[in-house]
Amino acid sequence: MTHRRDSYHHGDLRRALIEAGTRLARVGGPEAVLVREVTRQVGVAPNAAYRHFADREALLDAVCSQAQGAVAVAMEAELAKVRAKGDAAGRARARLRAVGIGYLRFAQEEPGLFRTAFSFPADLSRAASPDSAGASGLSPFQLLSSALDDLVDAGVLPRAQRPGAEFLAWSAVHGLATLAVTGPLRALSPRRLRSLANRLLDMVDRGLPATADLHSATRPVR
């Protein structure tokens, strides 16, 4: 729409295709991003897309990055809400919590885009696209990592526990998000879902830093 189509050439077809794809993904998730429909919306022949994307998968990857950027923006919005009061430890914990809340809120409010953002591309290397960042220039994953670094600096999380902690926190939040978006929790009212989210974040906050005593009952398996 922002692009001229007075003439044979489009001007910035690639961007237009991504935007149309994002609109479709917003409503119908990744499976709604069809080459033919996207080109139809832009008013161009189906094959024109192949001048800019190797195949449907490549187009979807681009839309995916765009959606991840939207997730990052949602997380940043929640981060902006934490007030600077309190001690460093409390602030760091609040920042980690805000990251999780932003993630979950986005999943709830934009299920189509959320599913698209985390229907991970076939080749992992594509993860680092510039589109997948928010206003701060950080991707969702980087925002989480940064929050965990703060937690270490504040002395809440032992530095030895830091490596891999992204994946523990991310797992918990991502699991709830997917269960809420596509899974059995999708019928839940936003009210109850928020309550569950708060309990989950309590669990992470409480369980992420390993306390000194490892209970003897839990031995590693195999």
Q: How far apart are CA 213 and CA 126, in angstroms?
A: 41
Q: How far apart are CA 95 and CA 103, in angstroms?
A: 12
In the block, tokens 């797992």 appear at 171
Q: How far apart are CA 193 and CA 177, in angstroms?
A: 10
Q: How far apart are CA 63 and CA 187, in angstroms?
A: 27
Q: How far apart are CA 161 and CA 138, in angstroms?
A: 23
Report the C-alpha dihedral over residues 174, 25, 127, 150, rounded to 10 degrees.
-40
Query: Which does residue 136 touch among DNA, a copy of itself, none (CB within 5 to 8 A, set by kind)?
Result: none
* Among 1, 187, 189, 212, contact with a copy of itself (rule: CB under 8 A): 187
Binding part of the chain for DNA, among 42-50, 70-78, 172-180, 194-202 by CB under 7 A, reads 42-50
Q: Note whether 178 binds a copy of itself by CB under 8 A.
A: yes
Task: Tell me, residue by residue from 43 to 82, as one string, x for binding to a copy of itself by CB under 8 A and - for no binding.
Answer: -----------------------------------x--x-
Query: Which does residue 162 touch among DNA, a copy of itself, none (CB within 5 to 8 A, set by kind)?
Result: none
Residue 157 makes CB contacts below 8 A (sequence gap 6+) with: 148, 151, 165, 208, 209
Q: Note whether 149 binds DNA by CB under 7 A.
A: no
The number of beta carbons lying within 10 Å of the beta carbon of residue 125 is: 6
Nearer to DNA, 60 or 94 (CB): 60
Query: Which does residue 168 touch among DNA, a copy of itself, none (CB within 5 to 8 A, set by kind)?
Result: a copy of itself
Whether residue 96 contacts residue 169, with contact meaning beta carbons closer than 8 Å, is answered with yes
Q: How far apart are CA 50 and CA 58, in angstroms?
A: 10
Cα angle 157, 158, 159 (rounded to 5 degrees) comes to 110
Residue type (1 letter), 136: S
Query: Which does residue 73 touch among a copy of itself, DNA, none (CB within 5 to 8 A, set by kind)?
Result: none
Q: Which of residues 9-38 bind DNA (CB under 7 A)?
A: 9-11, 13, 34-37
Q: Note whether 7 binds DNA by CB under 7 A.
A: yes
Least separation in angstroms between CB 155 and a copy of itself: 13
Task: Tell me, residue by residue from 49 to 88, as one string, x for binding to DNA by CB under 7 A and - for no binding.
Answer: -xxx--xxx-------------------------------
Name the residues that contact a copy of itself, by CB under 8 A.
Answer: 78, 81, 86, 89-91, 93-94, 97-98, 101, 118-120, 124, 127, 141, 164, 167-168, 170-179, 182-187, 194-196, 198-208, 210-211, 214-218, 220-222
